[in-house]
Amino acid sequence: MKLVIIEPLGVEKEKLLALAEEKLEGKVEIVYYDTRVTDTETLIERAKDADILAFSNLPFKKEVLEHCDNLKMISVAFTGVDHVAMDYCRERGILVSNCAGYSNTAVPELVFGMVLNLYRYIIECNQAVREGKDKTGLVGQELEGKKFGIIGMGAIGTRTAQLARAFGCEVYGYNRSPRETEGVTMTDMDTLLRECDIVSLHVPLTEQTKGLIGEAQLRLMKPNAILVNTARGPVVDSQALAAALEEGRIAGAAVDVFETEPPISEEHPLLKAPRLLATPHVAFATKEALYKRAVIVFDNIACYLDGKPQNVM
């Protein structure tokens, strides 16, 4: 059996391969690539002889997978698998496992870094000091007492709610399936959008969530409200969000995810919008989270080899 780790997984090569050897106990031949590529030809060349593949959020489409005659299992080093041709995998009987849970701490912590930046003008304050200016126009707001809305009350949404409560916020939640969380007032999405000062998105990308936040939803939000998206880019209509910011219909937004992976075109509408804080898909990217992710990747493979697959999508 051949395992191909087709791209770096955010952990130093020596540490990653040592972890793989520990978890897999010599049951597979391991091939490791220390560069990330996206072109179809190179992906086919790297993957074509693999029995098992490991990668993070590389787009892996049918035109690559159909050349992988030996492929039996993919261990995706990511929570979502919308970048994988899942229909084709099911058709071929290729098992796909994900890495849910590794970023349950990292993502909520970035959410509050973003919110604090928007509320306290931290980036602008830094620039003001460097330019010899004072705090004029930079008086911020406190989180305490604000209504904090969370759309998607899974593990990450729940942890976000805990942090919001620690800041003294009133926390509201919306989830498609019924769910109760301590200290969270569950409500419908329209009410949450109307009432909350901060709205944070924590939903996967599916046919149901694509475009979940569009012009109609943004018009429900208060003029002083901010929107935070660390979920998936297509969950929000970027053109509609840019227009809402430009017209002052909401007070700000923080976006870590876009329709494609960074680097983002300088023509992207959000990059020209006022009061937009953008980060290059880093919510999950802490040293601790990436190591946790690698552990889950190899645990998934080990369980598959033992005939007890876990985290199957």
For residue 157, which amino acid is it? G
DSSP 261: P
Q: Which of 159, 202, 232, 293 is catalytic?
A: 232
Instruction: Mark whether 281 is an active-site residue.
Output: yes
C-alpha–C-alpha distance, residues 101 and 292, integer Å: 9
Residue 262: count other Cβ atoms within 10 Å of its Cβ.
13
C-alpha–C-alpha distance, residues 163 and 228, integer Å: 15
C-alpha–C-alpha distance, residues 173 and 200, integer Å: 10
Name the burial class of residue 306, with classes exposed (0-12), middle (13-18) and buried (19+) by CB atoms within 10 angstroms of its CB: exposed
Instruction: Mark whether 261 is an active-site residue.
Output: yes
Q: Which of 46, 159, 202, 281 is catalytic?
A: 281
Cα–Cα distances in angstroms (integers) from residue 282 to residues 21, 122, 175, 222, 301, in the given order: 28, 18, 24, 28, 25
Instruction: Mark whether 63 is an active-site residue.
Output: no
DSSP 35: S
Cis geometry, peptide bond prior to residue 262 (ω within 30 degrees of 0): no
Please write down the HEC assignment for all residues of 262-308.
CCCCCCCHHHHCCCEEECCCCCCCCHHHHHHHHHHHHHHHHHHHCCC
Contact 48, 69 (CB under 8 A): yes
Contact 249, 227 (CB under 8 A): no
Q: Which of 261, 266, 267, 268 is catalytic?
A: 261
List residues bridging with 149 in a β-sheet.
Answer: 172, 199
Which residues participate in catalysis according to the annotation?
Answer: 232, 261, 281
